[in-house]
Amino acid sequence: MNTTKCKPILRALALPLVGLIGLQVNLSAQDDEPEDEEIYTLSPFEVSSEGDVGYISNFTLSGNLTNIALEDVPASISVMTTELLDDLGAEDLQDAMEFATGVVVQRENGVPGGNGNSFTFRGIQTNWQARDNFRWYVPSDNYNVERLEVNLGPVGMLYGESAATGALNISTKRPIRGANFLRTRFQIDSEGSWRNTLDWNKALGENWALRLNTLVSEEEYWRGPAHDDRLGFTAGLTWSPSTNTHITATYEWGEIERAQLTNHANDEYSDYVLGTGSNDPSVSVPGARNRSNLHFIDGVLYDYSSVEGTRFGESNKSGSGPLADFSIVPEDTIVSGDYNRADVDFWVAQIHYDQTISENFSIQIAANFQSQTPRIRGGSGSLRIDTNPSLPDPNNPGQLIPNPNYEKFFVRNGGTTEHRSNIQEQYRIQGLYDLQLPFMRQELNFGAYMRRDEFDFQRWSIALDPDYAESIGRPRNLNSNRLEFIDYIDDGITVYSESNLPPNTQYYRRPGGPAQFVDVGLDSLYLNSYGRYFEDRLTTMIGIRHDEYDRVRYNYTADGVDGEGVNNFDSVNHDVSPENDSVNYGLTFDFTDSVTAFYNYSESFTFSGVVTRLDGSPGGPRVGDGDDFGLRFKFLDGKVRASITRYENAYRNIRFRTPPQDVVDEINDLLNPGQEVYSRGNLTRDEETEGEEIEIVAQPLDNLSLRFSYSNFDKETANQGSELATIISRLESSGFSSADFPETQTYFNEIQILNPDDDKRYNWTARYRFTEGPLEGFFIGTAGYWREDQVLIDPSPTNPGLVVDSYVWLNLFGGYRTTLFDDVEATFRLNVENVLDESRVFGAPGGQNFLDERLWTFSLDLGF
């Protein structure tokens, strides 16, 4: 049962309010509609979807943050237009990225905690996107999104922000001067979800425009009790006092309450031999292990360590347990219930000031401010059996009572929640100078970018109140009295949090894990030259960039002894990355009006922390570099466009893991004084990927839209733990053999297991509109993808890689567009996802995910 619907009163009022707003806005729009249609000139720093035709887009901002023809950019950029997103029925970023060229949605590791922003570009993972060319961490819903630009390879977002893997830029809806419209959509589906959005644009005289977008959504899933409830509001205001000056300010607020689809129960019970349970510590119970914690069961506290000479246990499967049998826990059930959830509140404010100073010179000054506060709670992924015939008597210490739940299935959850917050400031200033010479033209783009992030990570848990703990003979320390909650699956899951605590307990901050405050700074300078030669047949792009990155990390420690759980800053770590410079260069050459060749080399960096090597020195950021080269084709006056790309990318200095302490100690015992390794240092590795991409986008007829893409990558891991290899070589050169450092040699051999990953992906979308005859107004279409042989988890000596056979995901959609009441455009649409009802299980133990079952979605669009 869904027990955490957000703001029921607000939701109950949302639809009537939206309707009233829509009626008032429509009447106002009709009264104030300009008599004469005016043509407004866009700033060179913005791109509009008005020029898109079906699935075809002609322009992009991703080349150098200015409006450039897509065919002239020497890089691999794929644009997903508004019409494409509508036909896919993509409500959020993950829905859309399933159909993006060269991108893999990270379902194989479970839905990413909190944000759902984890993707791989050409086989290499990234966890953030750009929104209006600013870094974006917040969950993205498509209710206020105009288009998506997928930048593949290290060139992604090279100016102002960078990604060593590739990046996605989300273009949001902006106010449109001279236009008045109201569009609203109401949507329901076969799982009981519903969704309402509104898009209103209002011209306020000749120079002003206002745009409002709203979202109210409650999404249910076939796997209960998962749900995703959202509220969203975005307001934008544009002022253009002259044709040379444009100022746009936007504000967005959102609230997301999500019970996630992260796991199914794992088998931690099949090794246990039924009937062998015992509380006798001298008896070995097959497939069981000891427990000595505080357990909260059915509203009663049991102290498993309070009876001397007695053992309490639970079933335990050696190694990584497979999925629990679906006859015990059905695949449509999440055993953790609402324990496995992420709630996010956020707001974003942004302003752009664009100024054309002369015919050849323009500048933009932009700022972005974000704040988000995710609260994340992880649920259990293990199904166990209670192996205790007796339990400690909670009313008579030292005595036992019969266990009414002996040999019943249960899951164990902790009352632990992660509270996070992120406050972010970003600033960008850039100039565009158009230098026109007799035989060539150079567009010089130069600028500066600054980002400041503050991250606060804290972990909260439920423990016995110190006074109560002392009264029953336990220590006052909160960490010693942390509770585990036992829920037997035939009784359901009870969720405890700060608003719903058991008796004699309190909610407190605890150390460990992400208990820290991090202050991050990034400063960049860049210069890019975009050249045209030979009547624009040859274009070149050359860019350089200089970055400085700084991070200060303060660790939290808890003072739990006095019962207050007070945290204080302690152990300051100040990481400063060396200054980094990167370059990119590329060109396009038009052989004919229909055939263009392109080449690009790019370098880029990802700053998400500084690797500290084994010797304690900073290792620098993760670095990406690589080559793209290919051909673009254009036929039927641009109605059919195709591109073929071959790429080779590398991703270096990836934080891998920290060696065990016994390995570090063994090395230090052999090294000379002063040469010891740093005990908390990291190992790194590199990843290399290569492959091909094909994308075809066509509008061969006015009423026919087509899109097809193919992508593949072969990824290999290289230089795995190279720092440890260097140390081993140093030891060997000093006369030591592997027999002198067996722990180190064994560990090094284990981590040399490489992870070749071969992935092929086919995506398609097609739509046909009937424009005459008895079916006039109807449209039909299909969208889908075909996946081949995916390696879903990293192999290890105890956990081999999981490969999923090829499968097809097929969607159908159709509808009818008509005019109601002379001036209201209405579109009725039906989308059927996973028509074949394909079923697959993805992921490693503890993070399984399933393909969604067949889903029917009906929507009604009204446009005034």
Tell me the per-residue pLDDT of 231-266, one tens digit each, with 9 for 90 and over. Answer: 999 999 999 999 899 999 999 999 999 887 666 788
Determine the average pLDDT of the residues in 836-858.
79
Determine the average pLDDT of the residues in 324-330.
88
* Residue that is written with structure tokens 């909160």 in the block: 478
d(CA 401, CA 396): 10
Query: pLDDT grade, residue 474 (50/70/90)?
Result: confident
Looking at residue 214, its pLDDT comes to: 98
d(CA 751, CA 746): 9
d(CA 294, CA 301): 7
Q: Which one-letter DSSP state was computed for residue 338?
A: G
Find the range with the poorest average confidence among 337-341, 383-387, 451-455, 467-471.
337-341
Which residues on adjacent β-strands are paired with residue 184?
A: 198, 862
d(CA 206, CA 816): 35
Asked whether residue 578 carries a pLDDT value surpassing 70, the answer given is: no
Cβ–Cβ < 8 Å for 373, 420 = yes
DSSP-assigned letters across all residues of 424-436? EEEEEEEEEEEEE
Asked whether residue 505 carries a pLDDT value surpassing 80, the answer given is: yes
> What are the tokens at 453?
């992030």
pLDDT digits (tens, 9 = 90+) for 89-137: 999 888 899 999 988 876 533 333 344 567 888 888 777 788 888 988 8
Helix, coil or strand: residue 20: helix
Asked whether residue 302 carries a pLDDT value surpassing 90, the answer given is: yes
Return the closest-CA partner of residue 41 out of 310, 242, 305, 222: 242
Looking at residue 109, its pLDDT comes to: 32
524 alpha-carbon distance from chain centroid: 24
Looking at residue 358, its pLDDT comes to: 92
d(CA 46, CA 65): 8
Supply the pTM of this predicted model: 0.87
Determine the average pLDDT of the residues in 207-217.
97
Question: For residues 523 and 415, which has the higher predicted lDDT (pLDDT)?
Answer: 523
Determine the average pLDDT of the residues in 722-732.
90
Could you give the C-alpha distances from 95 to 53, 105, 119, 612, in angstroms and in order? 22, 9, 12, 37
- Residue 97's H or E segment, with its range, is helix 93-97
Q: Which one-letter DSSP state was computed for residue 203?
A: E
Query: pLDDT grade, residue 87 (50/70/90)?
Result: very high
User: At residue 753, what are phi and psi to the nearest 5 degrees?
Assistant: -65, 120
pLDDT digits (tens, 9 = 90+) for 742-773: 999 999 988 887 666 778 899 999 999 999 99
pLDDT digits (tens, 9 = 90+) for 333-389: 888 777 778 889 999 999 999 999 998 999 999 999 999 998 888 777 789 999 999
Determine the average pLDDT of the residues in 24-41.
44
**Ramachandran area for residue 472 (φ above 0: left; ψ -120 to 50: alpha; else beta):** alpha
Looking at residue 329, its pLDDT comes to: 86
pLDDT digits (tens, 9 = 90+) for 610-636: 567 787 777 777 888 999 999 999 999
Question: For residues 198 and 791, which has the higher predicted lDDT (pLDDT)?
Answer: 198
**Which amino acid would we find at residue 37?**
E
Q: Which one-letter DSSP state was computed for residue 702?
A: T
Return the closest-CA partner of residue 600 out of 302, 10, 158: 158
Asked whether residue 562 carries a pLDDT value surpassing 80, the answer given is: no
User: At residue 171, what are phi and psi to the nearest 5 degrees?
Assistant: -95, 120
Looking at residue 1, its pLDDT comes to: 37
Determine the average pLDDT of the residues in 474-479.
83
Query: pLDDT grade, residue 146 (50/70/90)?
Result: very high
Query: pLDDT grade, residue 559 (50/70/90)?
Result: low
Question: For residues 134 and 846, which has the higher predicted lDDT (pLDDT)?
Answer: 134
Determine the average pLDDT of the residues in 398-406.
95
d(CA 100, CA 694): 12
Query: pLDDT grade, residue 670 (50/70/90)?
Result: very high
Looking at residue 35, its pLDDT comes to: 42
Query: pLDDT grade, residue 682 (50/70/90)?
Result: confident
Which residues on adjacent β-strands are paired with residue 555?
A: 516, 570
Could you give the C-alpha distances from 69 to 300, 588, 651, in angstroms and in order? 68, 12, 29
Alpha helices by DSSP H, 528-660 = none
The percentage of the chain sitting over the pLDDT mark of 70, rounded to a whole number, equals 85
Mean pLDDT, the chain, integer = 84
Determine the average pLDDT of the residues in 461-480.
86
Find the range with the poorest average confidence among 196-210, 436-450, 563-577.
563-577
User: At residue 602, what are phi and psi to the nearest 5 degrees?
Assistant: -145, 155
Determine the average pLDDT of the residues in 185-199.
97
d(CA 432, CA 357): 10
Query: pLDDT grade, residue 500 (50/70/90)?
Result: confident
Looking at residue 798, its pLDDT comes to: 46
Which residues on adjacent β-strands are paired with residue 189?
A: 857
d(CA 266, CA 86): 37
148 alpha-carbon distance from chain centroid: 15
